[in-house]
Amino acid sequence: MGAYILRRLLLMIPTLFGIMVVSFVIVQFAPGGPVEQAIAELSGTNASITQRVTGSAQGDFAAQPSAQSNSDSGTGYRGSQGLSPELVAQIEEQFGFDKPPLERFGLMLWNFLRFDFGESYFRDIAVVDLILEKMPVSISLGLWMTLISYGISIPLGIAKAIRDGSRFDVWTSTLIVVGYAIPGFLVAILLIVLFAGGSFWSIFPLRGLTSPGWALMPWYQQIADYFWHLILPIIAMSLGAFATTTLLTKNSFLDEIGKQYVVTARAKGLTDRQVLYRHVFRNAMMLIIASFPGAFIGAFFGGSLLIETIFSLDGLGLLGFQSIGDRDYPVVFATLYVFSLLGMVVSLISDLTYMWIDPRIDFESRDV
């Protein structure tokens, strides 16, 4: 198994490299980069975007005439009218765009190997510190949603498989399908209206992961306050994953229950409970475990974006989305790198869990 783990770790290197190459190439063709946005801000054509531009650059701009021709500026950027070539070059140097693309990409890879993601273009903070600042929100949403979803869905799916076709199976399936059909953000809005001071009761908080003064609370109040803030977002996020995992568990167990080895086990005198948990459970859970990495990563990043926005939770999903719109490339590439690496690590852990559930699996005999 050690050789298999080593191969998987080594395969992460070209995979990460390919992801970064594709994303870097796409960024080169994306209009409205940070240099153009900074120039537009200085030119007064994009006042809605608040960008961080060096004080010296602003001083140089103030010294420029109120209007110059495009030919005088000598640049190809839109909105650069009225800016001297020296000022534009200074802005390019500030954002690192004074170097050729290949050199910038190589420097980025070298820094990423050392987990040095630089500083945000438009937030006066290191990218690592920014990610660590937003991480607790995303970890809380992704971890608890996945654990609660799996903790309820697996027992419910097993019960539905055992009682397939019964009234219990029919009405629970109806509830599950209805829950799956309702988008999570609509559930979030409904919960706010009902329980967060919208129009009815004001039971749960509307924003944030903790209350003001949380650090001064006793530890037991801190725990209670933390979960008090999480209840509504977790409920809103869990419905879709709850339905998917439940039906996946049921179908997986039904498929195994109909196989010949189950009939043989029953013929040997084993009870239904013994057959279910000694034989069926181990085989049926393989598919459930295979879906865990995607479910966790999806909840950790993409699945929490709308929920973070609605409940004013400043996590990594919202950070990544805002950074793409702002063309804050250090944050975009850093979040992409972190989530890609995290996804591959979780996938490896999932494969190793296969062996724990079914010792018959031999990783050493596999080619990948």
- Mean pLDDT to the nearest integer, 20-31: 81
| Contacts by 226-231, CB closer than 8 A, 24 or more apart | 226/140, 228/204, 229/204, 229/205, 230/140, 230/141, 230/144, 231/204
- Digit-coded pLDDT (tens) for 72-110: 434 444 444 555 676 667 666 666 677 788 888 888 889
220 has pLDDT over 50 = yes
Query: Residue 49 — pLDDT band, cuts 50, 70, 90?
Result: very low
63 has pLDDT over 50 = no
C-alpha span between 191 and 205 (Å, rounded): 11
- Digit-coded pLDDT (tens) for 143-175: 888 888 888 888 999 999 988 889 999 999 898
216 has pLDDT over 80 = yes
| C-alpha pair distances (Å), 150 with each of 51, 97, 158, 244, 289 | 43, 46, 12, 10, 10
All domains of the chain in start order, with CATH: 31-113 (no CATH), 127-365 (1.10.3720.10)
**Residues 6 or more apart whose Cβ sits within 8 Å of residue 18:** none
Instruction: Give the range among 10-19, 183-192, 316-325 with minimum mean pLDDT.
Output: 316-325
| C-alpha pair distances (Å), 129 with each of 94, 118, 126, 332 | 20, 10, 5, 14
pTM above 0.85, yes or no: no
Place of tokens 């013994």: 274
Token duo for residue 312 = 């004013």
58 has pLDDT over 80 = no
Token duo for residue 3 = 């050789």
% of the chain residues with pLDDT over 70: 74
33 or 223, which is more confident = 223
320 or 189, which is more confident = 189
**Residues 6 or more apart whose Cβ sits within 8 Å of residue 340:** 15, 16, 19
pLDDT of residue 50: 40
Residue 224: count of CB within 10 angstroms of its CB: 11
Give the residue from 268, 270, 287 showing the smallest Cα distance to 161: 287
